[in-house]
């Protein structure tokens, strides 16, 4: 309330300023016809003897406000952190299970314990070695750091391998998991999700309608990733490797294709059982191609 | 006094609707209305946050230094949104995943700043609370209407369930791709405003 208000008693014109005008601009009435309007809001703080417009008050107010809000946010963040991390871990496990066609599990942790036998890292020669660290929730940074995770799963007595994937869609990141059969080339199931693709278009990659096109397809041909997501309607239905993209979401579909290609290319030694070809097994370790020495954790 | 309070609640629902009359919050109305579910969740989140922010600002209104009042309002809103987002992540993870970026977008929703500045700075906590609820619900109502039309004609679904029967598609019916795009939301909001003005003669400008 830096300025005062004055009302002309003749015509009701309200003037804002430090003092009343010499003449009313509307009806030409003289200055004496103006009266000051005293507002309730302006009067209240003055009564308490507190000048809310002084510099000191303003700076103190801002400082106190910032400190209170900062403490509040830190407190909330710290108290909830444990639960949030648990939720993220649970969600990641559910995503891995979804790739194995075990969607919407009531007790994710228990099913995960039962189905996933090992969280392993691929070695340069394609062998698997047990991953020693904590359960990881960011497979993008793991991939970038050269830690190629493979989850060894056991679904109804059959061995499956789940590989985490990360890539870019149209608006933001996309990620997913691809589950392969024991032959390491036939797709058993997939799961995709995204951070900010267009709902109804690119967002459909998270739906089962798109994901159900994957099972039964083959990933590798001649030591190269052959699985392709092509523009909707362009897939050769008789091909083992081509999959229709999402209609109206060409860029997101291309993103899925690039993601699959980039990630699985890095896993080629594992997918093609390179260690067997190199003859590593012959030197007294015949089992390497069968179980890859991953201990089961049950 | 009771009359004034009920006015604060009812006015924004129709006669002084924040979207239709004040044209506030349009950006988020375009962003989240491709499907019904996020539209409803967004509408409810905004309702809760605008009501809470209104109450807090209303309680502080006599102490806030005039020169930095907008910043104070912004800090209150941003802190509230962050807290709500953290709580959602801890206790309703599915919902927070659903909302993703939209929770953060609530901070930039002009309805909040508009109501804090125009109403909460001058009125008591209870009236401000009702005003917040009213404005939030008025906003949610528009989102739901727009999202209903967009999801029905754009995807043939409602809440994700197929509504338009398969035989329509076999007979040559196609989903309207434009409905999914934000420009169509703007056209739809325009149509709703048109209808609203036609019903409220006193809002018409000559």
pLDDT in tens, B97-123: 777 677 787 887 888 888 888 889 889
Scanning the structure block, which residue is given the tokens 């099972």? Answer: A215
Q: How far is A72 from chain B (nearest CA, A)?
A: 8
- Reply yes or no on whether the pLDDT at A256 is more than 90: yes
Chain segment B117-154, per-residue pLDDT in tens: 888 988 999 999 999 999 999 999 999 999 999 989 88
C-beta separation of B156 from B162 below 8 A: yes
Centroid of chain to Cα A163: 17
Mutate to test the interface with A, among B180, B181, B185 (most CBs of A within 10 A): B180
- Reply yes or no on whether the pLDDT at A179 is more than 90: yes
**Nearest CB to A1: which of B66, B93, B180?**
B66
Question: Chain B contact for A65, CB < 8 A?
Answer: yes
C-beta separation of A52 from A33 below 8 A: no
Q: Is A206 exposed, middle or buried (0-12, 13-18, 19+ CB in 10 A)?
A: middle
B-chain residues near A80 (CB < 8 A): 86-87, 89-90
Pairwise CB contact (< 8 Å): A87 & B89: yes
Task: State residue A279's pLDDT score.
Answer: 58
SS (H, E, C) chain A: CCCEEEEECCCCCEEEECCCCCECCCCCCEHHHEEEECCHHHHHHHHCCCCCCCHHHHHHHHHHHHHHHHHHHHHHHHHHHHHHHHHHHHHHHHHHHHHCCCCCCCCHHHHHHHHEEEEEEECCCCCEEECCCCCCCCHHHHHHCCCCEEEEEEECCEEEEEEEEEEECCCCEEEEEEEECCCCCEEEEEEEEECCCCCCCHHHHHCHHHHCCCCCCECEECCEECCEEECCCCCCCCCCCEEECCCCCHHHHHHHHHHHHHHHHHCHHHHCCHHHHCCHHHCCCHHHHCCCCCCCCC
Q: What percent of chain B stands above pLDDT 70?
A: 98
- What predicted TM-score, i.e. pTM, was given to this entire model? 0.69
Domains of chain A by residue range: 4-47, 90-289
Q: Provide CATH code, domain A4-47.
A: 2.20.28.10
Chain B residues whose C-beta is within 8 A of a chain A C-beta are 34-35, 38, 62-68, 71-72, 75, 79, 82-83, 86-87, 89-91, 93, 97, 100-101, 122, 151, 154-155, 177, 180
ipTM over 0.85: no
Average pLDDT over residues A178-193: 91
Chain segment A219-255, per-residue pLDDT in tens: 888 888 888 898 888 888 788 888 898 888 889 999 9
Chain segment B38-91, per-residue pLDDT in tens: 888 888 888 999 999 999 999 998 888 888 888 999 999 999 999 888 888 888
Pairwise CB contact (< 8 Å): A72 & B79: yes
Number of CB pairs, chain A paired with chain B, less than 8 A apart: 80
Residue of A nearest to B122 (CA): A41
B-chain residues near A61 (CB < 8 A): 63-65, 68, 72
Residue A284: band (very low, low, confident or very high) from pLDDT cuts 50, 70, 90: very low
């Amino acid at each position: 309330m830096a300025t005062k208000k004055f009302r002309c008693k003749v015509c009701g014109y309200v003037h804002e300023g430090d003092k009343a005008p010499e003449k009313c601009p509307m009806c030409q009435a003289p200055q004496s016809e103006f009266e000051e309007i005293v507002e309730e809001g302006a009067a209240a703080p003055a009564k308490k003897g507190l000048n809310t417009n002084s510099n000191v008050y303003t700076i103190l107010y801002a400082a106190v406000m910032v400190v209170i809000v900062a403490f509040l946010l830190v407190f909330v963040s710290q108290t909830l952190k444990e639960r949030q991390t648990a939720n993220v871990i649970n969600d990641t496990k559910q995503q891995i299970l979804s790739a194995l066609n075990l969607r919407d599990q009531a007790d994710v942790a228990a099913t995960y314990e039962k189905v996933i036998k090992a969280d392993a890292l691929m070695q340069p020669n394609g062998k698997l070695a047990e991953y020693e660290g904590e359960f990881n929730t960011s497979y993008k940074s793991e991939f970038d750091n050269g830690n190629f995770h493979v989850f060894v799963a056991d679904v109804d007595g059959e061995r499956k391998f789940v590989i985490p994937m990360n890539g870019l869609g149209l608006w933001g990141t996309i990620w997913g998991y691809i589950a392969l059969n024991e032959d390491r080339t036939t797709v058993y199931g997939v799961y995709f999700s995204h951070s900010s693709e267009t709902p109804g278009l690119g967002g459909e990659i998270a739906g089962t309608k798109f994901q159900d096109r994957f099972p039964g397809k083959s990933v590798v041909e001649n030591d190269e990733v052959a699985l392709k997501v092509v523009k909707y309607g362009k897939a050769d239905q008789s091909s083992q490797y081509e999959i229709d993209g999402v209609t109206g979401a060409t860029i997101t579909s291309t993103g899925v294709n690039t993601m699959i290609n980039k990630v699985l290319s890095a896993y080629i030694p594992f997918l093609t059982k390179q260690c067997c070809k190199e003859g590593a097994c012959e030197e007294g370790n015949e089992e390497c191609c069968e179980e890859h020495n991953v201990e089961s954790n049950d | 006094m009771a009359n004034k309070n009920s006015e604060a609640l009812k006015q924004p629902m129709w006669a002084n609707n924040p979207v239709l009359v004040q044209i506030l919050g349009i950006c988020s109305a375009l962003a989240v209305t491709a499907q019904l579910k996020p539209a409803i969740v967004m509408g409810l989140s905004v309702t809760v946050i605008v009501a809470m922010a209104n109450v807090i600002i209303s309680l502080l209104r006599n102490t806030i230094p005039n020169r930095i009042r907008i910043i104070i309002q912004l800090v209150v809103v941003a802190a509230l949104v962050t807290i709500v987002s953290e709580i959602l992540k801890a206790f309703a993870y599915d919902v927070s995943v659903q909302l993703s970026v939209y929770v953060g977008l609530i901070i930039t929703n002009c309805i909040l700043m508009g109501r804090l500045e125009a109403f909460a700075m001058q009125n008591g906590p209870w009236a401000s609370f009702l005003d917040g609820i009213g404005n939030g619900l008025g906003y949610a109502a528009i989102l739901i209407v727009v999202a209903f039309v967009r999801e029905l004609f754009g995807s043939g679904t409602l809440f994700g369930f197929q509504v338009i029967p398969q035989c329509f598609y076999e007979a040559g019916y196609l989903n309207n791709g434009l409905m999914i795009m934000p420009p169509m939301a703007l056209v739809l909001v325009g149509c709703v405003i048109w209808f609203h003005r036609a019903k409220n003669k006193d809002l018409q400008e000559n």
